[in-house]
Amino acid sequence: MDLNQYMEQGIHAIAHTAAKFYLTDKQGRRFLAGFIPALKKSADIRKSKEASGLHVPPFLIASITSSCNLHCSGCYARADGMCCDSGEPEDDLTDSEWEKVFSQASQLGVSFVLLAGGEPLLRRDVLEAAAAYKNMTFPVFTNGLLLQDSYLDLFDDNRNLIPVISVEGRKERTDLRRGAGVAEKIEHLMEALKERGILFAVSITVTSENVHEIAGEQHLDELRKKGCGVVFYIEYVPAETGTEELVLSSEQLAWLTEETLRLKKRYKDMAILSFPGDEQFMGGCLAAGRGFFHISPKGSAEPCPFSPFSRLNVKREGLEKILTSSFFRQVREIEERAQDHHGGCTLFLHQQEVKSLL
């Protein structure tokens, strides 16, 4: 199976989950009436671009703010200097600049724009701009602490914005990494989302300490009861020096890969995605435009959040020019030569080679 087919399967799994979740919800059915045709139209645009020689990835990662209201241990955004405390830096992209990015992505056939940070809920202006693009879906990766009533209304009214809540497994683990009391607030948030019938996801950083816990059926059953429809497993990358012991061993990675495949068959009403674990089924690293690329808060077009290097910026270059750039082509060549996905991020392991391209 080629890359495009495999990624379309992943998109289909998300669409299937949304369809089952919203089948009995009036607001949800209205969303589905536009969501399913939009996915097909975007896929057709990508196929047309592919035929003309331009490969457009279905996913884009947009870190829309460099500010955050938490200090989570092991945070890659703080480790590489991208993230700071609340208070928007003047050189972060404006809402109108992000709107231009969304417009270009829409025209190219991008289906999903993952909004991250920092804490993306600190940029309501950008989220409101994103919500207007009903032909695209915006998973919003959030710690959840700012998701109060006014934000619940925004997600309720705009189902193409999907809250993705960061958790670590058991409550104690979440509090240990994110701060005392955070897990309890997340529990209340999940209850509020379920009460409103809003599809939400969780993002779980998988480490050597929690891997067997978070990929177990008991944990998935608990999440499903709380109303969760999508689970992102993100393998830990040691961006923070001194945390290498949290990286999955080869044995743990093999177990996670096998278990994830089993869980996908067991939980057919949920979409379960693993990054970068799924890459072994897609011919390697997906960064630098193969499956996605990353835009930093300041507009730098980067191969991946874990490979924050660039000589391109959306303030100067359009998305199509970025996708066809020599920089991204050279990074993809590094990916092809590596062919060594044994866990974690391929480009993180080859960051000196990427740096040499600058």
pLDDT per residue as tens digits for the range 95-116? 999 999 999 999 999 999 999 9
Peptide bond before residue 139 is cis, with ω within 30 degrees of 0:
no
Q: So what's the pLDDT on residue 88?
A: 63
CB half-sphere exposure, 223, CA atoms < 13 A: 32
Compute the distance between CA of residue 132 and CA of residue 257 in angstroms, rounded to an integer: 37
Task: Tell me which long-range contacts 78-82 makes (C-beta under 8 A, separation of at least 24).
Answer: 78/240, 79/239, 79/240, 79/241, 80/239, 80/308, 82/118, 82/296, 82/297, 82/308
Q: Are 194 and 227 in contact (CB under 8 A)?
A: yes
Triad 176, 182, 186: Cα angle to 5°: 125
What is the DSSP pairing of strand 301-302 with strand 294-295? antiparallel
pLDDT, average across residues 321-347: 80
* Cα radius of gyration rounded to whole Å, the chain: 19
* Alpha helices per DSSP H over 267-310: none
Q: Are 174 and 168 in contact (CB under 8 A)?
A: yes
CB half-sphere exposure, 136, CA atoms < 13 A: 30
**Band of residue 80 on the pLDDT scale cut at 50, 70, 90:** low
Reduced to 3 states (helix: H, G, I; strand: E, B; else coil), residue 279 is helix
Sheet strands (E) in 64-195: 67-68, 84-85, 112-116, 138-142, 161-167
Compute the distance between CA of residue 57 and CA of residue 319 in angstroms, rounded to an integer: 11
Q: So what's the pLDDT on residue 250?
A: 87
Residue 342 has pLDDT above 60, yes or no: no
- Token reading at 28: 């949800």
Residue 1 has pLDDT above 60, yes or no: no
Task: Tell me which long-range contacts 296-302 makes (C-beta under 8 A, separation of at least 24).
Answer: 296/63, 296/66, 296/82, 297/63, 297/64, 297/65, 297/66, 297/82, 297/89, 297/92, 297/93, 297/117, 297/118, 298/66, 298/89, 298/91, 298/92, 298/93, 299/93, 299/97, 301/325, 301/328
Peptide bond before residue 87 is cis, with ω within 30 degrees of 0:
no
pLDDT, average across residues 43-50: 97
Task: List pLDDT tens digits, range 226-260.
Answer: 999 999 999 998 878 888 899 999 899 989 999 99
Compute the distance between CA of residue 58 and CA of residue 125 in angstroms, rounded to an integer: 24
Q: So what's the pLDDT on residue 276?
A: 76
* CATH number, domain containing residue 337: 3.20.20.70
If one compares 134 and 241, the residue with the highest pLDDT of the two is 134
Q: So what's the pLDDT on residue 60?
A: 97
For residue 209, give the H/E element and its range.
Answer: none
Q: So what's the pLDDT on residue 10?
A: 78
**Band of residue 79 on the pLDDT scale cut at 50, 70, 90:** low
What is the DSSP pairing of strand 200-206 with strand 161-167? parallel
pLDDT, average across residues 41-57: 96
pLDDT, average across residues 143-155: 94
By residue range, what is the domain housing residue 256?
3-355
The tally of domains found in the chain comes to 1
Compute the distance between CA of residue 305 and CA of residue 277 in angstroms, rounded to an integer: 16
**Band of residue 341 on the pLDDT scale cut at 50, 70, 90:** low
What's the whole-model pTM score?
Answer: 0.92
Residue 198 has pLDDT above 90, yes or no: yes
